[in-house]
């Protein structure tokens, strides 16, 4: 069937292009400012730092899509890593069992978030704020407030694979991005997520029970926070009960930079990933320049706002782009 292209269609690739443009501008900027920035090592280091934030941003994208929010991801990540660390160090369990346990803990936290907020119609902001404290307390409890040092036993997760330069965690994280984007654009689950974020009442009146799907989304966000915890553990080779403080805000920032609407119904996993890259490039560049802490904060804040402003005006820009191409 041959159909003329509609407006909504051109919008998304252009939006990704916009984010890529922002990213390139940032890289060029830092490349000009620091002679050491523009090197393979810098970028290899940078991408090996992002697996945890990437998978957590994927979960956050889904949660924001259904017009929810999950503030507990940072704490849940720390809890999952703590559980895994304690199991390996103190309980001497195999790494496989520790890995599965960490994922299950994340899943359980997420499912609890989803069930409480969807079943009793409590705003997810409040429920996950509670979980933020609960999971952090849990992390202190299981580790006895100490950083558990694991050493090389978990190094295979986060250390660069020889000859490839990137870590197993990064490959897994990119796989998660690919699968999540596929789920979002191709599957029933993806369709229901967008629909719930657009008009939950219409979904209910169409005979689809939003409760199940909402719980599933939060459970998935928890599971991905658990996976993020595993990546973090592999990266740091230790389980830090203080890990991921404020990570939820970094994840939300990445997702919002990626153009996902805070009011639900619109979003893209790949764009969230680009958002993560933008934040990572910015942090790496500012660190290499040795910019002072106050300036770092101010610049990071400004870039978030500018990126979102850019997103606000992407439709007019997109149209302009179209016209030029047509001319």
Partner 1 sequence: MLLQIKNLNKSFAVPVLKNLNFELQKGEVHALLGSNGAGKSTLCNIISGIYTADSGSFEYCGQPYTPSSLQAAETLGICMVMQELNLFPTLSVAENLYFRSMSDRFGIVQHQAIQQRAIKALQTVGLNYIDPAQPLSQLGVGQQQLIEIASVLQRNIKLLILDEPTSALTGPQIDLLFEQIIQLKKQGIGVIYISHRMDEMSRIADRVSILRDGELVATEATTDISTDRMVQLMAGDESTSIDKKESISQPCVQSDSTLLKVENFSRRTKNQSGGDSGFEDISFNLRAGEVLGIGGLIGSGRTELLRAIFGADQAHAGYIRLASDEFKVQRIMKSPTEAISHGIGMLVEDRKSQGLLLSHSVSKNISFAILDRLTSKLGLVDQSTEQDLAMSMKKKLGIQYNSSQQPISSLSGGNQQKALLARWLAIEFSILLLDEPSRGVDARAKSQIQTLIRELAAMGKAIIVVSSETQELLKVSDRIAVMSNGRLAGIFNADELSEEKLLEASFCFYSSEGNQLETTNART
Partner 2 sequence: MPRIRFDRNLILGLLLTAVLSACSSEKDMENESSTSKSQPARVALVMKSLANEYFINMMEGAKAHQLENAEKYELIVNGTKNESDLAQQVSLVEQMMAAQVDILVLAPVSSKGMLPVVKRAIDQGIVVVNIDNRFDQDVLQQMGMSVPFVGPADREGAKLVGLEVAKYLNAGDEVAIIGGLPGAYNAQQRQAGFEDAMTESSLNIISIQSADWESAKSATVAAAILSENPNLKALLCSNDSMALGAVAAVRQAGRTGDVLVVGFDNLSAANNLVQSGELLATIDQHGDELAVYGIEYALQILHSGVIPENIITPVDLIVAK
Which residues lie near partner 1 (CB under 8 A)? 1, 3-6, 8-9, 183, 186-192, 194-195, 198-199, 201-209, 265-266
Q: Among partner 1, partner 2, none, what binds residue 137 when CB lies within 5 to 8 Å by partner kind?
A: none
Tokens of 241: 């009960």
Contact footprint for partner 2 (CB under 8 A): 3, 9, 12-13, 16-17, 20, 23, 34, 36-37, 39-49, 52, 144-147, 149, 151, 155, 165-166, 170, 174, 177-178, 181-182, 185-186, 232, 235-238, 240, 242-246, 268, 270-271, 273-274, 277, 283-284, 287-290, 292-293
CB of 43 to partner 2, least distance (A): 4
CA 227 – CA 237 distance, rounded (Å): 15
- Closest to partner 1 by CB, 5 vs 325, is 5
* CA proximity to 131, closest of 149, 111, 153, 146: 111
First and final C-alpha spacing in the chain: 27
Q: What is the rounded CA–CA span in Å between residue 220 and residue 213?
A: 10
Residue 312 interface partner, choices partner 1, partner 2, none, CB cut-off 5-8 Å depending on type: none
Contacted entry of partner 1, partner 2, none for residue 181, CB cut-off 5 to 8 Å set by kind: partner 2
Task: Return the CA Rg of the chain.
Answer: 20
The answer to whether the beta carbons of residues 242 and 88 sit under 8 Å apart is: no
> Helix, strand or coil for residue 38?
coil
Give one DSSP letter per residue of 157-174, joined into a string: HHSBPTTT-SBHHHHHHH
- Least distance to partner 2 from the beta carbon of 201, Å? 26
CB of 8 to partner 2, least distance (A): 10
């Amino acid at each position: 069937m041959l159909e003329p292209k509609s407006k909504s269609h051109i919008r998304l690739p252009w939006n990704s292009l916009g984010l890529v443009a922002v990213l390139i501008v940032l890289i060029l900027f830092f490349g000009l400012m620091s002679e050491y920035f523009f090197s393979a090592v810098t970028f290899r280091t940078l991408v090996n730092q992002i697996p945890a934030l990437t998978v957590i941003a994927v979960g956050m994208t889904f949660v924001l899509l259904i017009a929810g929010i999950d503030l507990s991801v940072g704490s849940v990540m720390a809890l999952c890593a703590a559980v895994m660390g304690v199991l390996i160090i103190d309980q001497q369990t195999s790494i496989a069992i520790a890995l599965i346990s960490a994922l299950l803990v994340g899943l359980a936290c997420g499912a609890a978030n989803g069930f409480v907020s969807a079943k009793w119609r409590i705003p997810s902001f409040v429920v996950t704020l509670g979980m933020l404290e609960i999971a952090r307390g849990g992390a202190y409890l299981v580790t006895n407030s100490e950083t558990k040092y694991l050493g090389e036993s978990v190094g295979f997760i986060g250390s660069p694979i020889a000859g490839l330069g990137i870590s197993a965690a990064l490959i897994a994280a990119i796989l998660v991005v690919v699968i999540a984007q596929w789920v979002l654009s191709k599957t029933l689950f993806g369709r229901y997520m967008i629909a719930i974020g657009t008009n939950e009442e219409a979904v209910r009146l169409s005979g689809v029970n939003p409760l199940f799907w909402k719980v599933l989304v939060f459970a998935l966000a928890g599971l991905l926070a658990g996976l993020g915890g595993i990546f973090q553990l592999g990266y740091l080779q230790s389980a830090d009960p203080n890990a991921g403080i404020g990570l939820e805000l970094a994840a939300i920032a990445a997702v919002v930079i990626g153009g996902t609407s805070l009011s639900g119904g619109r979003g893209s996993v790949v764009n969230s990933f680009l958002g993560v890259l933008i934040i990572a490039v910015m942090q790496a560049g500012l660190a290499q320049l040795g910019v002072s802490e106050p300036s770092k904060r101010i610049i990071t804040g400004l870039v978030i706002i500018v990126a979102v402003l850019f997103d606000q005006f992407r439709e007019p820009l997109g149209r302009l782009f179209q016209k030029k191409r047509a001319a």
